[in-house]
Amino acid sequence: MTRPIKVVMAKLGLDIHWRGVYLVSQFLRDAGMDVVYIGNKFPEQIVEAVMQEDADVVGMSTLGGNHHSLGLKTVRLLKEGGLDNVKVFMGGVIPPKHVPALLEGGVNRVFLPDTPMQTIIDVVNGSVSV
């Protein structure tokens, strides 16, 4: 008996443009996942939502440069909250040379501009066994 993968999607902090994050949310939903879009949230609030929703996956979108600070802070807070098993994905306008540091910090995968939606769906599907 499998259940749908539960995904919490957030816009990170003060980031403004919601086109990308909402599109990814819609595509994941159409692919059969249970997606909750929580809007603009700070790391503490994201972790709280992950806990409340009992999510398998958290996706964070950022175009404005807070990927290091707030993105990695979210990963740290998830670990501190005992949520190490939650998969963390980031996407948006993130300079490619910043990606290794994010992966090292515990982000499972960073999706850069031009990534096909099917790639995101496949990676998320492959990251969780439910």
Partner 1 sequence: MANNPEKQVCIFTKEQLDSIKTGYDDWFNNVLKDGDREEELAGKYFTHSGIPVKMVHTPADVSHIDYTEDIGYPGCAPYVRGVYPNMYRGRPFTVRQLAGLGAPEDCNLRIKYLLQHGANGVNILFDLPTIRGYNSDDAEAEGNVGHCGAAVDSIWDMDAYFKDIDLGTISTSIVTHLPSTSIVIPGMYFAVAEQRGTPKDKIAGTCQNDFIMETCVGSGPEILPPPVSFRLQCDVVQFVCQNYARFNPISYNGYNLREAGTNAVQEVAIAISNGIATAEELLKRGMNVDDFAPRMSFFWDLHNDFFEEIAKCRASRKVWYKIMKERFGAKKPKSMLMRFHVQTAGVTLPATEPLNNVARSALQGLAATFGGCQSLHIDSYDEAYSAPTEEAALISLRTQQIIQAETGVINTVDPLAGSYYLEYLTDEMVKRIFDYIKKIEDMGGLVTAVENGWLHREIANYNLKYQKKIENGEMKVVGVNYFRAEEGSAREIEVFEYPETYTRQKAKLDRLRKERSEQKVKESLKILADKCHTDENLYPYTLEAVKNLVTLGEIEELFREQFGLWTFPLIN
Contact 59, 109 (CB under 8 A): no
Phi-psi bin for 129: left (phi > 0), alpha (psi -120 to 50), beta? beta
Residue in the block written with tokens 């290091």: 68
Segment near partner 1 (CB under 8 A), from 36-44, 76-84, 100-108, 122-130?
36-44
Segment near partner 1 (CB under 8 A), from 78-86, 99-107, 108-116, 122-130?
108-116
Give the number of residues written for the chain: 130
- The least distance separating partner 1 from the CB of residue 112, rounded to whole angstroms, comes to 6
Q: Which residues bind partner 1 (CB under 8 A)?
A: 11, 13-19, 22-23, 26-27, 36-42, 64-66, 68-70, 93, 95-97, 112-114, 116-118
